[in-house]
């Protein structure tokens, strides 16, 4: 079975993901498998289409686990910019829990800004963190996830 023939999977970088319940509902509606990846144990619904992976506590263990397995047709939900970059390069659709898409066009600048902010913080500068997660973010995420799934379904039907 080729990559384009197998069903899409939704990979969730789960340790700090605020939209896991929404992912489970959307995936069930579209009959998609979900792989929930965390450093250690994380509670997931008892559902055969939801797989829980405890990747271990090593540095970036969950990120590495996801990045080594995703490919075209998969969806990754993460706030981790380096992981998003790896997933985009692997051909996966990648979005943040606020609905922001990471694309080939946007990931370079997003990674550069992230690295700049890290360097500023290392030099002692005080920088603002991301804004708090809000209801509008949840709504934007749901819209973006639905749009990605529909696009992948159309692509699969055509090809």
Residue-wise pLDDT for 73-123, tens only, equals 999 999 998 999 999 999 999 999 999 999 877 776 666 666 666 666 777
Whether 90 maps to a domain, the answer reads: yes
Q: Answer whether residue 83 is part of any domain.
A: yes
Q: Is residue 130 part of a domain?
A: yes
Residue 13 lies in a domain: yes
* Number of separate domains in the chain: 1
Q: Over 80: is that where the pLDDT of 68 sits?
A: yes
Whether residue 144 is contained in a domain is answered as yes
Does 3 fall in a domain?
Answer: no
In a domain, 2, yes or no: no
CATH number where 30 lies: 3.40.50
Which residues share a beta bridge with 101? 95
Summarised one tens digit per residue, pLDDT across range 12-55 is: 999 889 999 999 999 999 999 999 999 998 999 999 999 999 99
- 132 vs 77, higher pLDDT: 77
Residue 123 confidence (pLDDT): 79
Structural domain boundaries enclosing 45 = 9-158
């Amino acid at each position: 079975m080729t990559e384009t023939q197998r069903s899409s999977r939704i990979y969730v970088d789960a340790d700090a993901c605020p939209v896991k319940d929404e992912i489970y509902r959307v995936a069930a509606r579209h009959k998609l498998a979900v792989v929930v990846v965390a450093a250690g144990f994380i509670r997931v619904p008892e559902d055969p289409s939801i797989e829980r992976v405890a990747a271990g506590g090593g540095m970036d263990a969950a990120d590495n686990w996801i990045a080594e397995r995703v490919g075209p047709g998969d969806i990754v939900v993460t706030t981790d910019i380096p992981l998003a970059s790896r997933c985009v390069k692997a051909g996966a659709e990648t979005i943040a829990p606020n609905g922001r898409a990471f694309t080939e066009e946007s990931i370079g600048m997003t990674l550069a800004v992230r690295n700049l902010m890290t360097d500023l913080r290392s030099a002692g500068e005080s920088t603002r963190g991301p804004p708090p997660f809000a209801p509008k973010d949840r709504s934007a995420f749901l819209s973006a996830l639905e749009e990605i799934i529909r696009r992948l379904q159309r692509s699969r039907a055509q090809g």
